[in-house]
Chain A
Amino acid sequence: MSKLRVLSARGDTVLEWDERKLQTGDPEALAAVREAERIFEEQRGRGATAFKVESDKPAQKIDTFDRTAEQIIMVPRVAGG
């Protein structure tokens, strides 16, 4: 399962989709990935930064939605404290 996590005041919210089902054209998986893509763009519009996170690898900043990613974590806008 692939995941999109959005960090927020409520803790993180998670949306999951099945990459294998996506390849077979499963309508539920397609709807989930479309929703994830919508949230991704919406959060980017608010100034969030997205990172692709995979096991045993350093995080990688991404600017476009990657439906094949194991996990994407969106960090809200930050500032010097």
Chain B
Amino acid sequence: MVVTVIALELLFVLLIVCLLCRAPYGVLAHQPLGGGRRSDWREAQERAEQMLRDVLAEDDYRQLCRRGYLEVPSRARPRRVYRIPRHQGQVKVYEGGVPIMALCVQPVDPVPDGDVVMMHKLMIEGNEEEYLRIANRFEPTLYGFIAIRPRGRV
């Protein structure tokens, strides 16, 4: 009986460890697999980081490094700010400082994290309506953001 309980507890702990090790939002799916390509991927990440340093304004790059996100104000909606995460994930949308939704837009082919930050920034600044049209939306709840709205609403 005791052995069974211990075995079940061990299984439970293993299950928790497996769940914690899972990458959020399919990050692993964005990395090319295979040992030989890991160094290529690392080089790509470094190149993308250098591109961010070159293209972003100094304050923006500093904000990205210190806070872990880059804020891009909406051009169409004056009180709205898009918060782009440093690493791939949902873009949080705030209006008057209040979170109103999260958006998920991903490149069809895998690109490094720095390129994804740039992709979000360019699309929000230069093509906001199209960006909102493409994005899958998630609304804030007490338990985090959940997908409840169909596409097409702004």
What chain B residues lie within 8 Å of A58 (beta carbons)? 75, 125-126
Question: At the interface, is chain B mostly helix, strand, loop or mixed?
Answer: helix
Contact B45 A11 (CB under 8 A): yes
What chain B residues lie within 8 Å of A52 (beta carbons)? 126
Contact B107 A59 (CB under 8 A): no
Q: Tell me the complex Cα distance, A76–B106, Å.
A: 10
B-contacting residues, A1-60, CB 8 Å: 5, 7-12, 47, 49, 51-53, 55-56, 58-60
Our pick among A8, A75, A81 for the contact of B136 (Cβ within 8 Å) is A81
Q: How many chain A residues touch the partner (CB < 8 A)?
A: 27
Contact A60 B111 (CB under 8 A): no
Instruction: Count chain B CB atoms within 10 A of each CB in A8, A49, A58, A75 and give the residue with the most.
Output: A75
What chain B residues lie within 8 Å of A80 (beta carbons)? 104-106, 134-136, 151
Identify the 6 closest CB pairs spanning chains A and B, nearest first. Answer: A11-B47, A81-B104, A81-B106, A80-B136, A11-B44, A59-B126
Using a CB–CB cutoff of 8 Å, the interface residues on chain A facing chain B are 5, 7-12, 47, 49, 51-53, 55-56, 58-61, 71, 73, 75-81
